[in-house]
Amino acid sequence: MLSKRIIPCLDVRDGKLTKGIKFKGNVDIGDPVDMAEFYYREGADELVFYDITASHEARDIMLDVVRRVAERIFIPFSVGGGLRTVEDMRAVLLAGAEKVSVNSSAVTNPQIIAEGSRQFGAQCVVLGMDVLKVPKSEQIPSGYEMVIHGGRKHMGIDALWWAQEAERLGAGEICLNSIDADGTQQGYEMELTAMISSHVSIPVIASGGAGEPQHLADVLTGGKADAALIASMTHYGHFSVAEIKDYLSERGIRVRKYW
């Protein structure tokens, strides 16, 4: 049986690691390449790098980070943040990433999903979704709306509709981030995750809100997620990936135990 994946997320700015709390007050906590190798050895199943700078100069710094990571870790990793064109995607994949993640750029230009999928294969294209809970309306029947710019801009697009549309366009996976839960460490947005996961046939990675191992157990069972993104709970040493996996395994959730 397929194991549930535990995926640490590393936010990178100007080539250094950060962790934002609700996307504000980022603080530097180290070198992303060292951190990637640390997580690789600790049993992470995959890594996500999110480049929160998008200036042109920072792009090259990030590509260098990707190249150095690819030389040192031998598990899949994806890179997202500021990828606006198929050429941007190609540069990241050639530097050694397994997957690219598109978020805001896909909302404003959905064809980037189709084009990326056609050129590199659907398995390379992850759709990142930032979602905010809103009152149900005719325009937003699911009660979850797509937002961009860290939640500052509402797009008037229903999250469930968008997930299905992205699958149709050729996305290979969805990384589903709840803006409401992000940074709270109070648990994943269960209702949102279960709803999206049961309405698409591609894997869904739950993101936002992880604070303790129980939160992962919840979202990987009742939340129907295929994988769980973590950040603060392991970045600051409160938990190790191995401890989280032991916890999940004891509760009958299949995880990769040998690495």
Coil, helix or strand at residue 210:
coil
Residue 155 CA to residue 65 CA, distance in Å, equals 32
- Could you tell me how far CA 165 lies from the centroid of its own chain? 19
- Please give the DSSP secondary-structure letter assigned to residue 114: H
Instruction: Determine the interface stretch with other proteins among 54-62, 116-124, 138-146, 155-163 (rule: CB under 8 A).
Output: 116-124
3 near other proteins, rule: CB under 8 A? yes
Residues of span 39-68 touching other proteins by CB under 8 A = 40, 45
Coil, helix or strand at residue 108:
helix
130 near other proteins, rule: CB under 8 A? no
74 near other proteins, rule: CB under 8 A? yes
Q: In the set 16, 84, 154, 256, which binds other proteins (CB under 8 A)?
A: 256
**140 or 220: whose CB is closer to other proteins?**
220
**96 or 143: whose CB is closer to other proteins?**
96
Altogether, the residues listed in the chain come to a count of 259
Q: In the set 123, 137, 139, 214, which binds other proteins (CB under 8 A)?
A: 123
- Could you tell me how far CA 35 lies from the centroid of its own chain? 17
- Window 170-189: contact mask with other proteins (x via CB under 8 A): --xx----------------
252 near other proteins, rule: CB under 8 A? no
Residue 137 CA to residue 8 CA, distance in Å, equals 35
Contact 203/173 with Cβ under 8 angstroms? yes
Active site residue ranges: 11, 130
236 near other proteins, rule: CB under 8 A? no
**40 or 50: whose CB is closer to other proteins?**
40
Ranges of H-type helices in the chain: 32-42, 56-72, 86-95, 104-108, 111-120, 159-169, 190-199, 213-221, 232-235, 241-250
Tokens of 8: 């640490």
Instruction: Determine the interface stretch with other proteins among 30-38, 56-64, 132-140, 198-206 (rule: CB under 8 A).
Output: 198-206
Largest CA distance in the chain: 49
70 near other proteins, rule: CB under 8 A? yes
The residues binding other proteins (CB under 8 A) are 1-5, 40, 45, 70-71, 74-76, 93-94, 96, 98, 120-124, 172-173, 198, 201-203, 226-227, 256-259
